[in-house]
Structure 1
Amino acid sequence: MNYERLIDEETWAFIRKTGECYPDDAVDLSIAEQRKVYDAMAAEFRAARPDSVSCEDRLVGAVPVRIYTAGEPGCTVMYCHGGGFVVGGLDSHDDVCAELCAQTGYRVVAVDYRLSPEHLHPAAFEDAWAVCQWISARFEGDLVLAGDSAGANLCAAVAHHARGRLTGLVGQVLIYGAFGGDINEGSYLEHAQAPMLTRDDILFYGQLRRPEGSEVGTDPTLEPLADNDFSDLPATVLVTADCDPVRDDSRHYRDKILAAGGKAHWINEPGLVHGYLRARHSVGRARDSFERISVAVEALGQGLWPYE
């Protein structure tokens, strides 16, 4: 794969800066060291919160959340952060959530779900589902799910589980998510050695989360593509980086929703790489994509579907 041709210089600068903070061999570090390095890398890219946004940290049961508000929101967004289910937290995606709040005017509730390997599946899913239920009971207005990478997986799992159990869930915006696709075909092979995320990285983090003895492709709360029913899901917008091994999971997920008669739209961003949300202030392509993500969240929260 000729990444020198596919990826522009702005994005390469972002990749190099990320590599200086979070080297390729980080998977060889202890889990505690990986988290320390990841948090430092996230802090290096963190932008200041918009002045219009206020936030509050609290507990939902035992799950820490951070609530962002700007004015009088008519909709709430539950945001689940990325990090392979192993790293990340409220601080790593603080600026993303704050900017999403400022751009949409919606309340954003960020979920600090339990991480692997100390807490195997279904711990992270249970935390996300608990917060989703709490939001539905506490706040008036509709609910949109949003998340990146591992967080996109959790949001999709919650959306599947919520059918028949929860009302008011009107949409999900899933950013470069891994949903349990076949790792031996498509983008998993085409971009097996992509910058920022490799196929080997995916296998490593997947093994850390999966309980011993669990079967692949049988549990939609772990791998949403394993579900046999894609009907009655909320309107779904999937956003991917083209140079990313998990790219095709979003295409497959879209196709399954469409085949079941639902609403789904896939946006594949040329020349971008996994984790590009952190590049939204330095890379034009990432900035434009974040604008599309914000527009999608806002539209779904208003019951609009501008993708026909």
Structure 2
Amino acid sequence: MTVTTTLPRAPMDPGLASFLAQAAAQGNPPLESLPLEIGRQIYRDLAAGLGLPPPAVATEDRSIPGPGGSLQLRIYHPDVSGSLPALLYVHGGGFVIGDLETHDAVCRTLCHDVGAVVVAVDYRLAPEHPFPAAVQDVVCALQWLATHARELRADPSRIALAGDSAGAQLATVACLHTAGTITPRALGLIYPVAQHHSEPSASMAENGEGKFLTLGVMQWFIDSYLGGRSELTRHPDFALLSAPTLATLPPSWVATMGHDPLRDEGHALAQRIQQAGVATEHRHYPDGIHACIHFTAVSPLGGQVLSDLAQWLRGQVDAQPRV
């Protein structure tokens, strides 16, 4: 992995630094050492307890046929009249934790701020359902949205995708899989997984301990998702930096955080997308950490990231269609 430009550096946001210091003082066991369901519940509790109340929007839960059986979606409707854009949101959590509840506030915020119908997909998680189950589910959800957009009062020509961390990776892979059949307007990636730590980067060494996302939990995620099959670490549906081409992606927005182990691979991904000829905006937050979009009651930074993404998405889905 090659990153050709040095990103700005800054001390960690004070609110986030205080939160991490308090968490360290509690001496909690590493997430990867806990029973799986406890780890998943801890993520739900963090997301629910450390965020500001999101905007009130109407929601409905729906079940659709999926590759592995019933696939759950949560659909968010803004209080806006007329035909709307649609946004497929794919949650993060290392392919192992995370669900519709952990990212409910994120989806409500984007629904309100973009003025779009948001569809969140509850894709199958590892280790119960290893790679490529999550890929299949997200592709299925995107295809369903493209086919059923009008039922949701959305314009099928104004579809966008977004996600954070592993969800950003899955959203990107879904775009690549459906190239030529679905033409999204935009792809928003918040601290994306692009290669994980098969090739350790400077940001892995700098930020791999004590900054929420650790090397240990990342190894747990990758082992669970790939089922211990090391040959998959360079599969293009996992390692985006190994994809043969990214030229079919829609205009892309990539957010990286200065104190995130994934900083450098996110930066490299933004560069690769741009080098492929895709309009790309890379927003770097030098004082941020991984998962900060959940911690809006701790620091305003996560809210700023979502606001910046929403503003960019509005500009893309309200623009004239690409020729």
Same fold (TM over 0.5): yes
Q: Residues of 2 paired with 1:163 and 1:13: CA distance?
A: 44
1:66 maps to 74
Contact 1:14 1:279 (8 Å CA) reproduced: no
1:180 maps to 195
The two structures, once aligned, show a CA RMSD in angstroms of 2.2
1:147 partner SS: strand
Quick one: which amino acid aligns to residue 315 of structure 2? A
1:271 partner SS: coil
2:18 partner SS: helix
Quick one: which amino acid aligns to residue 58 of structure 2? S
Contact 1:80 1:147 (8 Å CA) reproduced: yes
Question: Shift of the alpha carbon at 1:90?
Answer: 0.6
Q: Matches of residues 256-267 of structure 1 in structure 2 within 5 Å?
A: 256-267=272-283
2:258 partner SS: strand
Aligned length: 299
1:161 correspondence with 2:177: yes
Question: Shift of the alpha carbon at 1:185?
Answer: 2.4
Question: Shift of the alpha carbon at 1:129?
Answer: 0.5
Relative distance call for 1:21 and 1:101 in structure 2 (3 A) is farther
1:291 maps to 307
Q: Residues of 1 paired with 2:20 and 2:304: CA distance?
A: 18
Q: Residues of 2 paired with 1:12 and 1:172: CA distance?
A: 30
2:7 maps to none
Question: Shift of the alpha carbon at 1:216?
Answer: 4.1
Question: Shift of the alpha carbon at 1:241?
Answer: 1.0
Q: Among residues 192, 195, 199, which one is paired with 2:211 in the alignment?
A: 195
Quick one: which amino acid aligns to residue 156 of structure 1? T
2:61 maps to 57
Question: Shift of the alpha carbon at 1:97?
Answer: 0.3
Q: Among residues 76, 88, 94, which one is paired with 1:84 in the alignment?
A: 94
Deviates more, 1:129-138 or 1:220-229: 220-229
Q: Matches of residues 248-287 of structure 1 in structure 2 within 5 Å?
A: 248-287=264-303
1:26 correspondence with 2:36: no
1:219 correspondence with 2:235: yes
Specify which structure has the bigger relative contact order, considering alpha-carbon pairs within 8 angstroms and separated by 6 or more residues: 2
Contact 2:51 2:296 (8 Å CA) reproduced: no
1:102 correspondence with 2:112: yes
Q: Residues of 2 paired with 1:76 and 1:8: CA distance?
A: 33
2:30 partner SS: helix
1:96 partner SS: helix
- CA offsets, 1:179-204, max 9 Å, x none? 11553223222322251112232122
Deviates more, 1:250-259 or 1:53-62: 250-259
Q: Matches of residues 221-260 of structure 1 in structure 2 within 5 Å?
A: 221-260=237-276
Q: Residues of 2 paired with 1:66 and 1:269: CA distance?
A: 29
Q: Among residues 35, 42, 47, which one is paired with 1:37 in the alignment?
A: 42
Question: Shift of the alpha carbon at 1:18?
Answer: 5.9
- CA offsets, 1:201-253, max 9 Å, x none? 21221111003435145422222222111212100000011101111112111
Task: List alignment gaps of at least 5 residues for structure 1.
Answer: none
- CA offsets, 1:22-45, max 9 Å, x none? 945121101111112222222212
Deviates more, 1:73-82 or 1:35-44: 35-44
1:144 maps to 160
TM-score normalised by length of structure 2: 0.86
Contact 2:60 2:74 (8 Å CA) reproduced: yes
Q: Residues of 2 paired with 1:212 and 1:195: CA distance?
A: 25
Question: Shift of the alpha carbon at 1:260?
Answer: 1.7
Relative distance call for 1:213 and 1:11 in structure 2 (3 A) is closer
Contact 1:128 1:154 (8 Å CA) reproduced: yes
